[in-house]
Amino acid sequence: MPDKVQIKVTVNGVEHHNEVEPRLLLVHYLRETLGLTGTHVGCDTSQCGACTVHLDGQAVKSCTMFAVQADGCNLTTIEGLGSAGNLHPVQEGFWEMHGLQCGFCTPGMIMAAVDLLNKNPQPSEAEIRHALEGNLCRCTGYHNIVRAVQYAADKMAGKIGAAADD
């Protein structure tokens, strides 16, 4: 078995020191070593985007990196984005607009959408669809995902007030 390698990774503001196999994928490190199971694995060819997380502020597919490549990096996963009662506007948008059904693609989709809005705060519908090309959803037909991202953009621009909590 390959020798293990020491890594230091900050995930959602918490610093972790672990010995990992060099071949361990970042997504498996998050899920299995750290127990952060909100990041999902939906494929084995880097197509589906269910594993999308932020690495030093950029969206990456965590199935496409080794954990050792994240050594010294700052990661945000869905668990660190916002929590019940303190949701990120994109999380709120997905809830308000019914942007999810089975929920499996949702964490990756949300992380990809946050990355889009960080770079382009007022995207057009076409820009939203283009930005989410790397994230597959089998339930929603993307209709309400687009609306969720539009909601979040408006919310972040101050165009929408507090969400009703029904």
- Our CB check for another protein shows the closer of 8 and 138 to be 138
The CB-of-115 to another protein minimum distance in angstroms stands at: 14
**Touching another protein, residues 5-24 (CB under 8 A):** 21, 23-24
Task: Out of 26, 34, 116, 145, point to the residue binding another protein (CB under 8 A).
Answer: 145
The CB-of-30 to another protein minimum distance in angstroms stands at: 10
**Touching another protein, residues 43-62 (CB under 8 A):** 43-45, 47-48, 50
Alpha helix (H) residue ranges in the chain: 26-28, 78-81, 89-96, 106-119, 125-131, 143-156
Q: Could you say whether residue 75 binds another protein (CB under 8 A)?
A: no
Cα torsion angle, 65, 66, 72, 78, sign: positive
- Our CB check for another protein shows the closer of 16 and 129 to be 129
151 contact partners, CB below 8 Å, separation of at least 6: 89, 92, 93, 96, 97, 160
Considering only CA atoms, which of 135, 124, 129 is closest in space to residue 78?
A: 135
Q: Could you say whether residue 73 binds another protein (CB under 8 A)?
A: no
Three-class DSSP category at 91: helix
Q: Could you say whether residue 130 binds another protein (CB under 8 A)?
A: yes
**Touching another protein, residues 82-121 (CB under 8 A):** 82-84, 87, 91, 94-96, 98, 100-107, 110
**CA atoms of 117 and 153, how far apart (whole Å):** 7
Query: What are the C-alpha distances in Å from 160 to residues 83, 128, 146, 154, 155?
Result: 20, 19, 17, 6, 5
Three-class DSSP category at 130: helix
Number of residues that bind another protein (CB under 8 A): 63
Give me the residue label for tokens 């506007």.
Answer: 89
Q: What is the contact surface with another protein in residues (CB under 8 A)?
A: 1, 21, 23-24, 28, 31-32, 35-45, 47-48, 50, 77-79, 81-84, 87, 91, 94-96, 98, 100-107, 110, 125-126, 128-130, 132-133, 135-146, 166
